[in-house]
Chain A
């Protein structure tokens, strides 16, 4: 299943190697910068979302403070790491001039990517569901009816 998931990009790589003899269009430095920014931003935003979920967890545990503080520090660590690594210079700065501009760009970029991911998941799940419901109704109780 994992191989099926990775098949389309692997096929494009195979086609590129066959016709051009190399990975055409991949700049490893730029791709690494994007990967690092996406990792840091996803960690930060996902931690914030999970920190919010801890309130619901607390409702069934007499509202303990320990996990809330723990997750708060984990989220803060993500924010500090993001600011620190972006501030190291051109390594994680894309076309932006300052740490703040890059951090805001990362968040907006993440919203757009998340939107694309949600629509793609909606299409894939929806088409799977519609393919299943478009078939003739199955009778699972043939033996019981006999």
Chain B
């Protein structure tokens, strides 16, 4: 079979299956649609993860390889944060207090795992000593954005929240930790990634984030413009004739019967 067709069936269609499955699971009114949609999306994720072996000729499948490499630590971090959050003071869905320690362990282990991909032997490699180039996209983007968002969240808590100094300090610590990882990456070589390579890709990640922000805002602006133009072109709604004497009389009778109330 043609290489492009193989890539279409074993990489691009599975990529499309993920959002379609999620959309179906959330929007379909049918019974069992939720589980069917999730299964569809999960099958897509599995097919993407195995695409480096099913479609070795396509360079795009390196993204599938990266997904397989980072899905473990990312899930550990997010599940850990979920456990920490819901074992605290929440009005609904409260988890046992013991889940907090498990959550901290999972989150910490997830971050150590990701750091091990930079400074240890866990780096995603397409072949021996060939680092997956999409790792250079994911890692700097994730670290710098986490640091930026945590710093923004800390200041927001101080400015908008009332007596949120302790929470704000926690966010400053997260931002500081992410920033420390960045500074370490800029100065300490890993076994396969040098500090200079990381520096180069860090600024490319910043350019990427700026481009994504500009492009997304531009498309949202165009979308708003299209809706605004359409709504403006609609004719004004027809005005109805004023109420007649008999209608006014009926309304005043109704109002009068509901005024006053009964003595308690």
Contact = CB atoms under 8 A, between A and B. Distances in A.
Interface in B180-220: 182-183, 186, 196, 199-200, 202-216, 218-220
A135 interface: yes
A25 to B, nearest CB: 4
A4 B153 CA distance: 9
A105 B209 CA distance: 16
Contacts of B144: 8-9
A116 B145 contact: yes
Would you call the interface of chain A mostly helix, strand, loop, or mixed?
A: helix
Given A34-B207, A35-B207, A116 B85 contact: no
B146 A123 contact: yes
Contacts of A26: 203
Contacts of B154: 4
Among A1, A47, A71, A124: residue with most chain B CB under 10 A = A124
B203 A116 contact: no
Interface string B83-94: 011101110000
A9 B215 contact: no
Interface in B213-262: 213-216, 218-220, 222-223, 226-227, 229-230, 233
Nearest to B67: A115
A43 B77 contact: no
B53 interface: no
B26 to A, nearest CB: 12
Contacts of A84: none
B115 interface: no
Interface of A: 1, 4-9, 11-12, 15, 24-27, 30-32, 34-44, 46-47, 50, 53, 57, 64, 66-67, 70-71, 74, 78, 104-105, 108-117, 119-137
27 contacts: A1-B152, A4-B151, A4-B156, A5-B149, A8-B148, A12-B186, A27-B200, A42-B212, A42-B214, A46-B215, A53-B223, A70-B230, A74-B226, A78-B219, A108-B134, A112-B63, A112-B138, A113-B141, A113-B212, A116-B142, A117-B145, A120-B142, A123-B174, A128-B171, A130-B81, A131-B171, A132-B88
Given A44-B215, A67-B226, 19 more contacts: A8-B147, A8-B182, A25-B202, A35-B210, A36-B211, A38-B215, A42-B211, A71-B226, A112-B66, A114-B212, A123-B81, A124-B153, A124-B174, A127-B81, A127-B150, A127-B170, A131-B170, A132-B167, A137-B89
